Structure 1
Amino acid sequence: MTTSENKEGSYAIIGFGKIGQTLAKAFARKGIEVSVATTRDPESFASDAAAIGPTIIPTTLAEAVKADILFLAVRFEAHPDVAKALPTWQGKTIVDVTNAYGVPPEKLGGQPSGRVVAQAFTGGKLVKGFNHLGAAVLGQDPAVQGGRRVVFLASDDDDAAAEIGALAENLGFSPVQLGGLSEGGLLVHARGNSWGQLIFKDLVKFG
């Protein structure tokens, strides 16, 4: 049964650059249907989507934002434009895959970037996750020598964190919950020109 027949738990990836395509590959590997959208016409990236697999559905931004769970895989600076696509994000979970590297901390009002993104997506639940690895590593099969590649998740909403943890497991990863955005979440945030301590750490969980 594909997720399109089962509206309960539909997925979309917003942004189809290196990271967006890498996330799409993770869904394709498990045969899970996911919509992909950018601000461009879907025709312009349809062949890239088809090359990844039949469960990767190119669509418009207006269509993609109907999904229950959205991966935000755009440049950090572009997140307010995506947030304008809906008046409220009530009932939706946004996975913030952005990194605010190079953005001055004062521009973020001294807050973690995930919290800034959360404020833009009014009414939605935000989970910071899947952002700590580069596309080349994240794109590999998460099954590693009998273990699973770790993805870190941080959220101020425990239910949303658990929901994305379950999805990460379905995609073959081992989720590690870091707690709230301002606590553990800081380990996977970029601040100005520095990276959080867990960024780029490629860890594998065994057993």
Structure 2
Amino acid sequence: MNIGTLGAGTVAQAIARHAVAQGHQVVLSNSRGPASLSAVVRSLGPLSRASTPEEAAAAELVVLAIGWPQVPQAVATLPPFEGRIVIDVTNQFATPPPHPKIADLGELTGSEFIAARLPGARVVKAFNTLYGQYIAADPRHTAGRQVLFLAGDNADAKATVTDLTASFGFAPVDLGSLREGGRLMQLGGPLSGLHVLKQD
């Protein structure tokens, strides 16, 4: 599979590392340009490369892993997604830690807000409930596999993300739609920051 990342921070790099380990090709991008990612690409190996956000967004599966305040500008110039899958790993931090403020989206969940700004994308919410170090680490432990919650409105897209993340070693758990599942997963929800293992 060809996987693109919009953003190349801790979480995007962790997902990319899992992906290349399984033989997928990864195109990373950020707002600073491909040259800024040369060291990251070297560490990931020959299945990875850096390019523009537009090219990364053209991959068959795209990981959206940028700061919440940057979302509107970052997605404004992207081409239509035409049914391709976007894994939304964002959390609606309006301001950065140590004293973060949560963006008020009214009745919308964060994932619904994202989906509305990505015409044609099949959005699957995933990875946002886990701290970066748990995503980067091997999800397989002697006590079980790291649970990965996900939600989405398209069953086929969720099945693809379920299969992909299971191949990484995670134990995916489908929570339903972007409205119901997304509400459980987003900041302030009962599953935000919850790290649990599933026994095999």
CA contact (8 A) 2:110 2:182 kept: no
1:85 aligns to 2:82 (yes or no): no
CA RMSD of aligned residues (A): 1.6
1:185 aligns to 2:182 (yes or no): yes
Q: How does 1:25-36 map to 2 (within 5 A)?
A: 25-36=17-28
Normalising by structure 1, we get a TM-score of 0.87
Unaligned runs of 5+ in 2: 94-100
The offset of 1:146, in angstroms, is: 5.9
SS at match of 2:70: helix
CA contact (8 A) 1:65 1:85 kept: no
User: Which shows bigger deviation, 47-56 or 111-120?
Assistant: 47-56
CA contact (8 A) 1:150 1:204 kept: yes
Unaligned runs of 5+ in 1: 1-8
Deviations 1:147-199 (A, max 9, x none): 32111110111111111111111222111000011112211101xxxx22112
1:10 aligns to 2:16 (yes or no): no
- Structure 1: which amino acid aligns with 2:118? F
Distance 2:59 2:74 in 1: 14
- Structure 1: which amino acid aligns with 2:131? G
Distance 2:170 2:155 in 1: 19
Distance 1:163 1:27 in 2: 13
Task: Give the fraction of aligned pairs with identical amino acids, expressed as a percent.
Answer: 32
The offset of 1:82, in angstroms, is: 2.8
CA contact (8 A) 1:14 1:71 kept: yes
- Structure 2: which amino acid aligns with 1:145? T
1:137 aligns to 2:134 (yes or no): yes
Normalising by structure 2, we get a TM-score of 0.89
CA contact (8 A) 1:114 1:128 kept: yes
- Number of matched residues? 193
Structure 1 stretches of 4+ with a deviation exceeding 6 A read none
- Structure 2: which amino acid aligns with 1:99? N
- Structure 1: which amino acid aligns with 2:183? L
Corresponding residue to 1:41 among 5, 25, 33: 33
